[in-house]
Structure 1
Amino acid sequence: MTPHIAGLRNNHLLAAMRDYRSGHRLHPQMQQAVLGLEDEALAVLAAWYAEQPWVAVSGAVDSELLRAGGKKAFASCSSCHRRSGEGGIGAPRLAGQSVGYLIAASEAYRDGGRNSPAARGKGFVMGGLTDDEIRALSHYYASLR
């Protein structure tokens, strides 16, 4: 699963690419893509993707899970990602990402599959979430545009 990255914040994109390069974030194709790139090249790539227009991923969402996820999002996620899911300075956009990607990323944070310093903080927040709560949150954020 991969995220839609056009229009994400520059600082988040740059941090993600550095995490792939260092091995703190695992994805064979992304690790290979950034292997050997200097920080300057990563910064150019991050800036280019950040300047591209955001287009939400289309896909079906479960309305029952959407309602449950909306309630949980306010309590668990909105302080960093905002209720709208648009993200903030230190938190990426969740709104409009695919359900599958949101589930995979959430489970990776919760289960320790991402081990950068920033990811460990998210793991603390995600650690108490059940699989059902992650599914509900993922459907909620995927439904937002």
Structure 2
Amino acid sequence: MKNHILWKVAVAGLAGMVSSGTVSAEGDRMSGKEKFYTCAGCHGIEGYSNAYPTYHVPKLAGQHDDYVVSSLKAYASGARRHGSMEGNAVSLSDKDMQDIAAYVAGFRAINVKNAVTGNVANGKKKAETSGCGGCHGEDGNGESPNPRLAGQYENYLMKALEDYKTGVRKNAIMNGLAGALSNEDMHDLAAYYSSQARGLSVVQDN
């Protein structure tokens, strides 16, 4: 019952975000490719890890442009914390953010296969009972403005859920949902979404 209520809250929150006007990223992809060079040192390397705490730097290729812009704005304002990301984001104009977002969003979802350590079957069940698909899509390839999760690194997804659970990352819907999850639940959910064959990839434009 509790999960059902949380799911209804999540859907209502999504509807509110859409109706109130979400950030629209109308950037120039070619300009974004040039501006992405400062990001490529971390986000353009397969398997690159954050130094401390240790987790993989998230994949961005194929991520929704609106979500990329809102994330960069959150780093620039200090609402979302990460040393190097805050420093980089604060130097970007709104147009820079939109261009970079258009560039990374322009990559198509590709077939990926991540090695995971959590229980994928249990993660799928937990995603269904927690109503994750209401915002993120059944396989993690949901619509904007919510982030695409499919194909993302398992330990990055775990870190994000842990941060929502502890309140390090602020989002009323996600804080409530993550707060009800055990460590095992978070691990299995991360494994399920990471294991999806069609999803995010590392930005590599050869």
TM-score by length of 1: 0.89
Deviations 1:59-100 (A, max 9, x none): 32247x111101011122111111111022231111111111
List gaps (5 residues or longer) in structure 2. 1-54, 198-206
Q: What is the RMSD computed on CA atoms of the aligned residues?
A: 1.6
Deviations 1:31-69 (A, max 9, x none): 111123221211111111111234466432247x11110
Q: CA deviation at 1:9?
A: 0.6
Within the alignment, does 1:143 sit opposite 2:198 as a pair?
Answer: no
How does 1:82-121 map onto structure 2 within 5 Å? 82-115=137-170, 119-121=171-173
Identity of aligned residues (%): 33
1:36 partner amino acid: S
The answer on whether the counterparts of 1:112 and 1:120 sit within 8 Å (CA) in structure 2 is no
Decide which moves more: 44-53 or 18-27. 44-53
Aligned to 1:7: 62
Which of the pair has more CA radius of gyration? 2
Aligned to 2:203: none
1:67 partner amino acid: A
The structure 2 residue matched to 1:134, chosen from 180, 186, 189, is 186
Within the alignment, does 1:31 sit opposite 2:86 as a pair?
Answer: yes
Q: CA deviation at 1:120?
A: 2.8
TM-score by length of 2: 0.64
1:72 partner amino acid: K
The answer on whether the counterparts of 1:56 and 1:95 sit within 8 Å (CA) in structure 2 is no
List gaps (5 residues or longer) in structure 1. none
Q: CA deviation at 1:112?
A: 0.8
